[in-house]
Homo-oligomer: A and B are copies of this chain.
Amino acid sequence: MTAAAPAQGAPLIFQLFVMFAGAKLLAEAFCWLRQPAVVGEIIAGVLIGPHVLGWVAPSETSRLLAEIGVIFLLFGVGLETRPEAILKVGRVAFVVAVLGVALPFAAGLLLVQSLGGSLVQALFAGAAMVATSVGITARVLGGMGLLDSTPARVILAAAVIDDVLGLLVLAAVAGAAQGGVRLGQIGATAGLATAFVAAIAIFGAPMMTRAAGHFHKLRAGNEFFVIAVVLCFGLALGAAYIGVAAIVGAFLAGLAMADTAERRPELRQQVRGAAELLAPFFLVNIGMQLDLGVFADRDTLLLAGAITVLAIVTKIVGCGLGARSLGWRGALQVGVGMVPRGEVGIVVAQIGLGMGTVDNRLYAAVLFMACATTLLAPPMMRPAFAVRIAEAEAEQAQSEAVRK
């Protein structure tokens, strides 16, 4: 009955147990302190990671689990979002995304140039500050029961557009670093990515809703969940193939299945199970990569601090300006929700490092910025959404009273 010899099995199962149980223990502690559970799960990663306790190090295993985790996290978020609601906020979301890309890019560019960096270095710093990592925000909003609010919808839609824009910025910057920007190629990428996203956002849900009427003909059991997972992996693969992030595909797959899930509560619970199991690995993995040793060198520390502050301020101002039609509170909520850069900035910086245009100091600073924005956004979201949280909690208390 063995899956593998104990000698091989123990390390994997040890990693699984420590990462999952650690994340959930600190999530619970942070909930008691009325702080976002997400922050607890990231800090669990910092604690068990190589720089503090050293129980688990980032590895192929943790990276793999993190990647599947964020795919199911976004798939689950898509599943709980109604596609009409997203399409309705499309115009606002587009402006939010454009301003939220332009301001941080300009800020990063100017900062590094003013510090004496080369133009290519400055371009990379700007590109690394662009793309929002919506996983964290989605998790926080879901945890507060606010995925259904207008700012949440604007954030989700803007994050998808933001990702397409980020892809184009990266293509342009990488082209510039290699000696020439090929406008034709960037235009083709832009057209393909936009067509992919728009087609699935608009036609996905009606098509899947019609197809769902035939799913009962399948015989292999749990057919709705199986088809949902195939669609999730398939669209994630399609998105990655075009050059957009895999999780954009997963989110769109969730959107396409959302109406079906509303009529199939067991599908929703099954996806929730998969997401709840895997998402903690995504968060713990972020925490494990945070190296506090960056503070040892004063210049790196200053650069990291400056980039982080600029990344936060420009995103809030840019996205907030874009969302000013929602009122100042709504604009602030959208701006704060778009702050986390997560692993996107890290990946851009890694590409720059690989091309030899980003040095170790800039790389460390971008890494710090990515972790810090991710860690700081959730505590900022709580006050920004305070009014809505109070409403949601009152509702929950009421429904619990009814249950008793």
Contact = CB atoms under 8 A, between A and B. Distances in A.
A291 interface: no
Contacts of A222: 272, 276
Given A240-B13, A246-B9, A344-B1, A24 B273 contact: no
Interface stretch (A104-112, A156-164, A361-369, A378-386): A156-164
Contact of A24 (B5, B27, B66, B230): B230
A129 B269 CA distance: 40
A83 to B, nearest CB: 17
* Number of copies of this protein chain within its complex: 2
Given A21-B230, A134-B1, A234-B21, A240 B6 contact: yes
Contact of A133 (B1, B9, B16, B67): B1
A2 B31 CA distance: 28
A269 B266 CA distance: 6
Contact of A60 (B21, B60, B71): B60
A343 B247 contact: no
A225 interface: yes
B67 A247 contact: no
A10 B237 contact: yes
B269 A343 contact: no
Contacts of A244: 6
A181 interface: no
Contacts of A71: 3, 13
Interface size class of A (residues with CB under 8 A): 35 or more
Chain A contact residues, majority secondary structure: helix
Contacts of A66: 3
Contact of A219 (B32, B230, B247): B32
A163 B24 contact: no
A244 B1 CA distance: 9
Interface string A322-365: 00000000000000000000011001001100000000000000
A166 interface: yes
A200 interface: no
Interface string A263-283: 000100111111011000010
B219 A28 contact: yes
A387 interface: no
A212 B363 CA distance: 47
Interface string A1-37: 1111110111011101100110010011001100001
A315 to B, nearest CB: 13
A230 B26 CA distance: 13
A117 interface: no
Given A71-B3, A245-B9, A237 B61 contact: no
A9 to B, nearest CB: 5
Interface of A: 1-6, 8-10, 12-14, 16-17, 20-21, 24, 27-28, 31-32, 37, 60-61, 63-64, 66-68, 70-71, 131-135, 143, 159-160, 162-163, 166, 218-222, 225-226, 229-230, 233-234, 236-237, 240-241, 243-248, 251, 266, 269-274, 276-277, 282, 343-344, 347, 350-351
15 contacts: A1-B160, A3-B67, A3-B282, A6-B245, A9-B67, A10-B246, A12-B67, A13-B71, A17-B230, A17-B234, A20-B233, A21-B230, A270-B273, A273-B274, A274-B277
